Amino acid sequence: MKRIFISMALAIAGITVSAQKKFILADTHNDVLSGYVLDGHPFDSDLSSMAHSDLKRMQEGGVSIQMFSIFCNERYGKGRAFKRALEQIDSLDAVVRRNPDKMMDVRDYKSLKKALKSGKLAAMKGVEGGHMIEDSMEYLDSLYKRGARYLTLTWNNSTSWASSAADEASSKTENPGLNEFGRQVVRRMNELGMMVDISHVGPETVKDVLEITTKPIIASHSSVYSICPHPRNLTDEQLKAIAANGGVVFVNFYSGFLDSSYNRNKAAIQDKYRKQVDSLKQLNKTGYFIDEWLAKEYPQEFEAIRPPLSLLVDHIDHIVKVAGINHVGIGSDFDGIESAPKGLNGVQDYPHLIKALKERGYTNKQIHKITGKNFIRVFKANQKNQESGRNHS
């Protein structure tokens, strides 16, 4: 009852409850499932000592919609990658079942509205890496039926049907872009209502996707190339093309995609502790594992090279300038990165970003678009007419 009276008072004062209490906050990319949950660390337990994310801190940070990344790297080949995806989906579904008062499985616009109205975390799924469909349209359909609402066409590794940004940048692929099966994948995703995600994919693949798709696309966790020239970031030409398509770019929080000096500074730390790095490589550990281990082992040195939060806002500013306010959002990459800007130590710190946006001059209406409304629009646009598309597939 007290909450009702407060809401009424705010309405009379001309302040919306959502603007006063919290913004609808949608994050399109979080790796806690592959990073920690599959290693036996429940998402609904306290993971503050090890991870960027857990359920309690998402609530504290005001997260309304979380797209959980379903991820495995290129070491999971045919016969293993799809199974690994299902394991993560099973894990997330189990968390939702254990917490019906706090979370809700969301697969369509109707259930998204219901979750937002109830104040529960809208738990959604996105598959990061086309290799997890194992060149099978049946597997693509199965992932959609299990709740996957976007597919990142590649991870750093190219598939047999789409080239990645990493491989195109290093000229490892002879025929960049989509082949005919890749085009069929995009068409099928459009029919299903599954968002096409071009984060991680190469420029030629992006061009091919934009020629084929009938729905707005997303970049679930990418930043701005002109500020930080990394192959994973998007050029101004790509930002304009995505805007023309009606799509949205969700800004990645990774220090290495925000600050061009971060990777050089990190390399110096790696050189300083070369013996430990080489030992981890001999144990067949991946680059991300090594970077995360170093960051936790030598926190002061990594703290010193973190960029300021203002640089993240610079990336948002640039997308707004080039593509428009309707085409930018948040794709943190939390728990898939070893470093984020200062002030963003985990999902509990989203209010710091909102404060920074206000200080930069963004209005509440504009911040609502950045934090959630742009995601809702692009998700709804992909869902539209999906039943009709399925009936004609």
Task: Using the Cα atoms of residue 15, residue 17, residue 20 and residue 22 in order, give the sign of their dihedral.
Answer: negative
pLDDT at 287: 78
Half-sphere exposure of 184 (CA within 13 A, CB side): 11
Q: How far apart are CA 308 and CA 297, in angstroms?
A: 22
Q: How far apart are CA 167 and CA 201, in angstroms?
A: 9
Give the separation between CA 177 and CA 161, rounded to whole angstroms. Answer: 8
Please report the pLDDT score of residue 98 as a whole number.
97
Distance CA 332, CA 373 (A): 16
DSSP for 358-375? HHTT--HHHHHIIIIIHH
Give the angle subtended at the CA of 10 by the CAs of 20 and 104, to the nearest 5°: 50
At residue 174, the pLDDT reads 84
pLDDT value of position 20: 33
- Rounded Cα distance between 250 and 227, Å, is 16
Q: Give the angle subtended at the CA of 158 by the CAs of 262 and 176, to the nearest 5°.
A: 100
C-alpha 314, offset from chain centre:
19
- Using CA atoms of 62, 41, 334, 64 in order, give the dihedral in degrees to the nearest 10: -20
Report pLDDT for 21. 53
Give the dihedral sign, CA 216/260/337/103.
negative
Phi, psi of 315 (to 5 degrees): -65, -45
**Cα 14 to chain center, whole Å?**
34
313 membership: H or E segment, kind and range = helix 309-322
pLDDT for position 285: 80
CB of 159 closer than 8 Å to CB of 205: no
Mean pLDDT, each 10-residue run in order, the chain (393 residues) = 36 35 91 93 96 97 98 92 97 98 97 97 98 98 98 96 95 91 98 98 98 98 98 98 98 98 93 90 83 91 96 98 98 97 98 97 97 98 65 35
Query: What is the spatial distance between Cα 192 and Cα 383, in angstroms, rounded to a whole number?
Result: 8
Q: What is the pLDDT of residue 393?
A: 33
Cβ neighbours for 119, distance < 8 A, ≥ 6 positions apart: none
| pLDDT of res. 14 | 36
Domains of the chain: 23-261+305-391 (3.20.20.140), 264-304 (no CATH)
Place of tokens 């939390």: 334
Cα–Cα dist 338/186, whole Å: 32
Q: Cα 151 vs. chain centroid, distance in angstroms?
A: 11
| Residue of 229, 253, 249 lying closest to 241 (CA atoms) | 249
Cα 241 to Cα 172: distance, rounded to the nearest angstrom: 25
Whether residue 386 contacts residue 192, with contact meaning beta carbons closer than 8 Å, is answered with yes
Distance, CA of 347 to CA of 52 (rounded, Å): 6
240-294 residue pLDDT tens: 999 999 999 999 999 999 999 999 999 999 999 999 988 988 888 877 789 889 9
Under a CB-based contact definition with an 8 Å cutoff, are residues 319 and 251 in contact?
yes
pLDDT of the residue at 283: 85
DSSP, residue by residue, 31-70: -HHHHTGGGT--TTS--TTT-S--HHHHHHTT--EEEEEE
The length of the chain in residues reads 393
Residue whose C-alpha is closest to residue 162's, from 152, 176, 151: 176
